[in-house]
Structure 1
Amino acid sequence: MNLVADGIAWILDPANWQGAGSIPERIGQHLLLSLVVLLIASAIALPAGAVIGHTGRGKQFVVMVSGGLRALPTLGVLTLFGLWLGIGLAAPVISLVILAVPPLLAGAYAGFEAVDRRTIDAARAMGMREREIVGGVELPLGLPIIVGGVRSAALQIIATATLAAYVADVGLGRPIFQGLKTRDYGEMLGGSILVILLALLVDGAFALAQRLVVPAGVRATRTRELRSRPPRPRTVVGRPIHEGNRQ
């Protein structure tokens, strides 16, 4: 409990909110690094997942690539690229992109695959071209699942971006490594708490976005389905009755 208090005290210390290496600066660096990595990984994984999900080809490739990349230890990959590329942001960016590609690829593929084939056939029967089907039918209907994949990737990036401080003086990983080096566990725990809070805030933002991107027609259909469900049976004095029906 004393360590938690020390961590909170380190966060609340006004000296840590001013000057070079302050908490606001570290948070900004952490968010900027995470955003850059997410954009690069999205540019790679989302189009590939969309093509695979639309055509139905390459499913085994997705499973193989996702499983293989997930199995790679990020710290090991970071160390390898760090030895090759040297000190700087290049090694962390490449390592985090490798980490983020699998959930993005799987989310894009699953989002397109989840669209009812009958809906796609109906769009083709109406004369829509493949490009129009992708942009006007599959993408809007699969967007909640795609955003879910982006959400998962963003959380993994934010949590693992602390390792960037291993080879570069950026992000919220610096107080963690610095506290470990100097045995200042209050600083170390304070940095960890900030990473957790940042991840929770980003997760909440993506959760809201995931709900907002659900098409209005789909929300209305779900509401009607919930309202039209048969009443739930209850058992009273040994025999079932239905809620809302008088016996």
Structure 2
Amino acid sequence: MSRENKLHPECQRRKLGMWFGVLFVRQGVYQGGIFRFCVHIPETFPDGGCPRVVFESKTFHPMINPHTGEMDVRSGFQEWRKNVNHVWQVVHYVRRAFYKIETKSPLNQEASELYDKNQEAFCENVRLCVKTSQEHVYDPAPVEDLHYISFEPYDNEVHGPIRDAIFKVKNSKNKLLLGISKALLDMRRTLKSECQLYTNSATDDLDAGADLDSETVTVLKRKRW
């Protein structure tokens, strides 16, 4: 499989209704993969049918066309309903395809056949695909677009202060939440204690009332006789 990481021609020109995305695969066969893709939204959206998804570099997957990079998402949205379907559902569908692999209507016949008949060869191609995606994660943006998602290697001088600020805010929030939790716990204990005292007092009053009623009835009976 080729190691080329050139941006697909459809993603080279910024269009209205084109979103850039990056998929980080955390587990499964594609674990460790960092795959870039573009979501092409029809100009007449939401009336223009299902958005298209095109991967920037060659991605070895049964549902991705090896020549155009386009993924088959229409199988999951055969009838696009503007009041029901949303773009986030398309992105979720793309993510799911890397965890639960389908080979019913493949766009990459080779990947489909290997997955069904030769898992070892399929996994080898996937490993190469994942490795390629990792090697190009820090490549400069192939288009001049502020919306393109770019990454830089960790630089302590640049990223260190930002990292410290994030953890400082996180620690402050944790302390605040801890204080609130403690206050709520103290309040709960106080209420529980007061409720217990009230219950005991009410029980004593009921017992006293019962005794009083009993004595009163006895006295009345005696006077009547």
Question: What TM-score, normalized to structure 1?
Answer: 0.25
**Greater strand proportion:** 2
**Greater helix proportion:** 1
Structure of higher RCO (CA pairs closer than 8 Å, 6+ residues apart): 1
